[in-house]
């Protein structure tokens, strides 16, 4: 059906950083894997990611992705949801072709957890009361779980012992948490043209991400009242985003969030100590540095 390659091709051709499949490729090689079996798994990982982006932009009503109009803005919500489903199904076909129940288990668990994380986030939205614990549960599930799975399957195809699989998984988990923390900083502070996504979407959608949670924790009564009103459904006024950004700046909430990303980045690097100090390990340490320092 022509619309499927049209819509999927539109998003795929716009690039993206392709961090997750690169993690699978690098993890497998760092674990000593030699043949090409990991390439299919890396492909499945990026298909799962692409499917979640199609669905996420519908849910978030985002109109910009990878520097161009989002697929839902161009083709509509219905087409985005259905082609997202198709990509999920294709990912599962690719995983089955790998003929390993273990990799299939890891990646299908990740797909379920991501969906659960997105629903948890939806349940927590439109309210300023989101706790740090709930926020961490959301970002672990919606983002870090796929990073963890991408890394773990690399160690599994290389047939490494359980301790190394766990180390790879932990590396991906901490990296993924750091990645999403920085994403949430960028949603308030990035240059839109550089980021390729709209700024302020989290605030507009009533999502309490860590910068907002910290600003509210450090705010006075009036500021808390502002957050409560602005996060409620359909209650935002012109100028609210600017006000939120000012409060976040005043309380150093972006710096505090970035500091937490650095802590998780350090934990990710510590997990890599289980592997030999090869150039590939140094590359993965470089990925951690990139994810923490990124501006897109």
55 close to 84: Cβ distance less than 8 angstroms:
yes
Using CB under 5 A as the binding rule, whether residue 60 contacts Mg ion is answered as: yes
Which residues sit at the interface with ligand IPE, rule CB under 6 A? 16-17, 19, 52-53, 56, 60, 62, 66, 114, 118, 142-143, 180, 183, 197
Residues in the chain: 296
- Nearest distance from C-beta of residue 72 to ligand IPE, angstroms: 11
Residue number with the smallest Cβ distance to ligand IPE: 16
Which of ligand IPE, Mg ion, none has residue 125 at its interface (CB below 5 to 8 Å by kind)?
A: none
Alpha-carbon distance of 239 to 294, in angstroms, equals 27
64-65 and 68-69 beta bridge pairing: antiparallel
Alpha-carbon distance of 248 to 13, in angstroms, equals 35
- Nearest distance from C-beta of residue 176 to ligand IPE, angstroms: 8
Long-range CB contacts for residues 25-29, cutoff 8 Å, separation at least 24: 25/154, 26/154, 26/280, 26/283, 26/284, 26/287, 27/150, 27/151, 27/152, 27/153, 27/154, 27/155, 27/158, 27/168, 27/171, 27/172, 27/284, 28/153, 28/154, 28/155, 28/157, 28/158, 29/154, 29/280
Choose the stretch contacting Mg ion; rule: CB under 5 A; options: 19-27, 48-56, 83-91, 129-137: 48-56
Residue placing its CB nearer to ligand IPE in the complex, 53 or 151: 53
- Nearest distance from C-beta of residue 125 to ligand IPE, angstroms: 11
Which of Mg ion, ligand IPE, none has residue 174 at its interface (CB below 5 to 8 Å by kind)?
A: none
Using CB under 5 A as the binding rule, whether residue 183 contacts Mg ion is answered as: no
Residue placing its CB nearer to ligand IPE in the complex, 178 or 247: 178
- Going from the C-alpha of 183 to that of each of 39, 95, 178, the distances in angstroms are 27, 28, 9
- Nearest distance from C-beta of residue 276 to ligand IPE, angstroms: 28
- Nearest distance from C-beta of residue 163 to ligand IPE, angstroms: 28
DSSP structure string for 76-132: -HHHHHHHHHHHHHHHHHHHHHTT-HHHHHHHHHHHHHHHHHHHHHHHH-S-TT--H
Question: In a 3-state reduction of DSSP, which class is residue 2?
Answer: coil
Q: Give the one residue of 56, 183, 184, 202 binding Mg ion; rule: CB under 5 A.
A: 56
- Nearest distance from C-beta of residue 63 to Mg ion, angstroms: 11
Residue placing its CB nearer to ligand IPE in the complex, 16 or 252: 16
Using CB under 5 A as the binding rule, whether residue 202 contacts Mg ion is answered as: no
Residue placing its CB nearer to ligand IPE in the complex, 163 or 296: 296
Residue placing its CB nearer to Mg ion in the complex, 198 or 243: 198
Residue placing its CB nearer to ligand IPE in the complex, 61 or 255: 61
Alpha-carbon distance of 109 to 262, in angstroms, equals 27
Residue placing its CB nearer to ligand IPE in the complex, 98 or 145: 145
Summarize as ranges the residues that interact with Mg ion (CB under 5 A): 56, 60
């Amino acid at each position: 059906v022509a619309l499927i390659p049209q819509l999927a091709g539109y998003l795929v051709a716009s690039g993206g950083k392709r961090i997750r499949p690169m993690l699978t490729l690098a993890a497998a090689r760092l674990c000593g894997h030699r043949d090409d079996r990991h390439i299919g798994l890396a492909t499945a990982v990026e298909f799962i990611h692409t499917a979640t982006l199609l669905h996420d932009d519908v849910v978030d009503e985002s109109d910009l992705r990878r520097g161009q109009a989002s697929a839902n803005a161009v083709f509509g919500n219905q087409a985005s949801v259905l082609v997202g489903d198709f990509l999920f199904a294709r990912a599962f076909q690719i995983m089955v072709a790998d003929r390993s129940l273990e990799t299939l288990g890891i990646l299908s668990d990740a797909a379920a957890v991501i969906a659960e994380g997105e629903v948890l986030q939806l349940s927590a939205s439109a309210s300023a009361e989101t706790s740090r614990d709930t926020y961490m549960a959301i970002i672990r599930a919606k983002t870090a779980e796929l990073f963890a799975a991408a890394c773990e399957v690399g160690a599994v195809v290389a047939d490494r012992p359980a301790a190394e699989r766990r180390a790879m998984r932990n590396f991906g988990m901490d990296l993924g948490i750091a990645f999403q923390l920085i994403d949430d900083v960028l949603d308030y502070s990035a240059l839109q043209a550089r980021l390729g996504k709209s700024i302020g979407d989290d605030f507009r959608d009533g999502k309490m991400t860590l910068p907002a949670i910290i600003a509210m924790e450090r705010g006075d009564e009036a500021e808390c009242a502002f957050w409560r009103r602005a996060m409620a459904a359909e209650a935002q006024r012109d100028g609210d985003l600017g006000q939120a950004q000012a409060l976040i700046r005043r309380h150093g909430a972006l710096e505090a969030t970035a500091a937490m990303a650095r802590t998780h980045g350090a934990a990710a690097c510590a997990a890599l100590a289980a592997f030999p100090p090869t150039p590939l390990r140094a590359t993965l340490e470089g990925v951690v540095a990139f994810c923490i320092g990124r501006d897109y």
